[in-house]
Homo-oligomer: A and B are copies of this chain.
């Protein structure tokens, strides 16, 4: 491990190469059982099969009367067929027993169609009356074929069929269907746990008033919210003094799946994080050909738990998270590595400055389908990201992007 402190980065890794390393090293986490009532939004670790058919009985697909279609043959408005009305079948309260050929029961949508019935006649094609002996009869004024308005067993889902594939982030309707088929829990990919180590003696926790030589930490809030966006539930934040032993203890004690270290990653005398990571594990990348976030890096503890070295400058921190930590956290949780932002094609209305050989993360405003770079690009100007509508990534092979060029904007608003 070369000590780059106070000397600057002699070499920088390309963004492309850094992402290749993460692609090779970061694998999906294991899985865990999740009750179906809490499974929305989770990613399935294996395909899920229906435990029962839906419906598991023949059910009425219409309000009306259940009967044997055969018994209505020849019925017409002028020549109604009379059936004995012998009961009713409601959802959850079915008619007890089987129907004979000349019998009918009232039925409502979703109720079991009794044995002996094979069709549902719509209410408007019949009327109820009292027969000569006072018993209820149904006057049927139109024939109905067998099978009409009856949903057969398994019409929606057949027992044993695949309801959702492996790797599906469960949508609202997916958990509904799974519950319908009697699935009580699914195997879901574990969601990565994240520890955020905020280094910097000058930092006060959010909610404080800045004062003296102390400023208020923004990165813990930004990183927590980004991690939650990327599927993380458990986020721990710890503040760590700018002393090597303190950084070392904090990193050694972190048992989470992912560690995000904010600050102390650059080349100043107080930048302990890269050296400490090299001692405790491995630094894979440190110094990336990009702007902002050149001092970004990452490595691994115990060969597999990633530690991301994020510059303390707030825009660099956001940028380094988006390029390296975000895709990795999503991949650990079984989500796509791609940036989750909505995308929009726009035309460059004012030249976007860049230099070949580095990737630029350029905050932009969007007006209609025109895009303007935000004037200030200082890595410390976090307010540039609140004024921006999104970001344009300028590739390493490109120099400035000229007025009139078409670019893709990654929008900040969800």
| A contacts, CB < 8 Å to B | 6-8, 35-37, 40-41, 51-52, 54-57, 61, 63, 90-94, 106, 108-112, 123-124, 151, 155-157, 163-164, 169, 171-177, 179-182, 184-185, 200-203, 206-211, 213-219, 221-226, 228-229, 242, 266-270, 312-314, 318, 340, 342, 378, 380-383, 385-386, 412-414
A378 to chain B, nearest CB (A): 7
Cβ A92 vs Cβ B177 within 8 A: no
A293 to chain B, nearest CB (A): 14
Contact A214:B380 (CB < 8 A) given known A176-B222, A177-B386 = no
Q: Which residues of B contact A110 (CB under 8 A)?
A: 200, 202, 215, 312-313, 380
A-B contacts, 26 of them at CB < 8 A, read A8-B123, A37-B207, A40-B225, A41-B225, A54-B215, A57-B213, A61-B378, A90-B270, A91-B202, A91-B213, A92-B200, A92-B214, A156-B382, A156-B383, A163-B386, A169-B413, A171-B225, A172-B222, A172-B229, A173-B318, A173-B385, A175-B225, A177-B218, A177-B386, A180-B210, A181-B210
Overall SS of chain A's interface: loop
Known pairs A110-B200, A156-B380, A182-B216 / 14 extra A-B pairs, C-beta < 8 Å: A63-B268, A91-B215, A92-B214, A151-B378, A156-B383, A171-B385, A171-B413, A173-B382, A173-B412, A175-B222, A176-B218, A176-B219, A177-B314, A179-B221
Cβ B218 vs Cβ A179 within 8 A: yes
Q: Which residues of B contact A155 (CB under 8 A)?
A: 378, 380-381
Q: Which residues of B contact A52 (CB under 8 A)?
A: 209-210
Can you name the residue of chain B whose Cβ is closest to the Cβ of A317? B176
Partner of A382 from B40, B57, B176, B413 at Cβ < 8 Å? B176
Q: How far is the CA of A181 from the CA of B386 in the complex (A)?
A: 13
Cβ B206 vs Cβ A36 within 8 A: yes
Q: Which residues of B contact A203 (CB under 8 A)?
A: 91-92
Q: Which 4 A-B pairs have the closest CB atoms?
A: A92-B202, A176-B218, A92-B201, A91-B202
Q: Which residues of B contact A123 (CB under 8 A)?
A: 6-8
